[in-house]
Chains A and B, each alone.
Chain A
Amino acid sequence: MGSTLRIVNGRVYDPANDVDGKTRDICIKDGKIVKSVPPKTKCIDAKGMVVMPGGVDIHCHIAGAKANIARKLQPDDHRRDVHHRLDLKKVNTRSGTGGTVPSTFTTGYRYATMGYTTAMEAAVPPLLARHTLDEFDDTPVIDKGFYILMGNNVLLYQMLQEGRHEEIRNAVAWWLNATKSYTTKLVNPGGDEPWKGHRNATITQLNDKIDGYEQLTPRKIITSMVNTVEDLGLPHPVHIHCNNLGHSGNYKTTLETMKATGGRRIHITHIQFHSYGGKPNENPTSKAPQIAEYINNNPNITADVGQVMFGRSTSMTADAPLAWMLTRYSNDKRWVNADTECESGCGIIPFAYQEQVYTHALQWAIGLELFLLSKDPWRMVLSTDHPNGGTFTSYPRLIRTLMDREFRKQQMDSVNQKAVAKIKRGHHMEREYTLQEIAIVTRAGPARILGLKNKGHLGPGADADITIYDEHEDKELMFSAPRYVLKSGHLIIDNHEFRNNHEGKILHVAPGYDEGIKDVIRPFVEDFYTIKFDNYAVSDHYIPRHEVVPTAKQ
Chain B
Amino acid sequence: MAETMTLIPGRTTKQGVGLLESKFKKQYRDATTTVEINVEDMARLGLKDGCKVRLRSANGVTTVKCTGRKTEDLPTGVLFIAYGPPTSKLMGTDTGASGMPLSKHLEVELERVN
A and B touch in the complex (CB under 8 A): no
> Interface on A for B, CB 8 Å cutoff?
none
